[in-house]
Amino acid sequence: MTSPIMTLDRTDIRILDILQKDGRLSNIKLAEMVNLSPTAALARVQKLTKDGFILGYEAKLNPDLLNKSFVVFVEILLDKTTPNVLEEFTDAVIQYSEIVECHMISGGFDFVVKIRCANMEEFRKISGQVLWQLPGVKETRSYPVMEVIKESSQINIKQPVKK
């Protein structure tokens, strides 16, 4: 079976790389950057979107200016990992905007979540009123972030492609 990325040519990869760095780029400028006509560039972007390579566009907000610069990663251990407990937990996590990421992991804990809030006082409230109210939570370990060294949602797509 062919990997989906192998269906992309160099121009598709270039378009994806450019757009993930600047999703507001005009179609005309994008076309110039990849040496296509505006019509051809737009068709490529539409196909990449239709095929699921482009999931959407969003603005990156400044957490400092919005009083949400305090980040805490929390490991969560559930009391059991039966399908119904996992489903209840994941359905509940989705409801809380304070939880900006949630990943099921392997190892000593079942999930790791990323919380973004104003400060430690607010996190303590979230811990008691949100995290410990999630279905099946048995144990948590919290890791407040002291300094962000690197944070990105960009994906390295510089991989071999068909010619």
Do 45 and 52 form a contact (C-beta atoms < 8 A)?
A: no
Helical H segments across the chain, by residue range: 10-21, 27-33, 38-50, 83-93, 120-129
User: Is residue 114 classed as helix, strand or coil in its secondary structure?
Assistant: strand
**pLDDT tens digits for range 107-145:** 999 999 999 999 999 999 999 999 999 999 999 999 999
Can you give the length of the chain in residues? 163
What are the structural domains of the chain?
A: 4-50 (1.10.10.10), 70-144 (3.30.70.920)
Q: Could you read off the pLDDT of 50-95 as tens digits, one per residue?
A: 999 999 999 999 999 999 999 999 999 999 999 999 999 999 999 9
Type and span of the H or E element at 144: strand 137-144
Name the pTM for this structure.
0.85
- Say what the alpha-carbon torsion angle 129, 132, 135, 138 is, to the nearest 10 degrees: 180
Are residues 113 and 74 in contact, defined by beta-carbon separation less than 8 angstroms?
A: yes
pLDDT at 163 over 70: no
- Strand, helix or coil for residue 115: strand
Cross-strand partners of 141: 75
Give the model's pLDDT for residue 83.
95
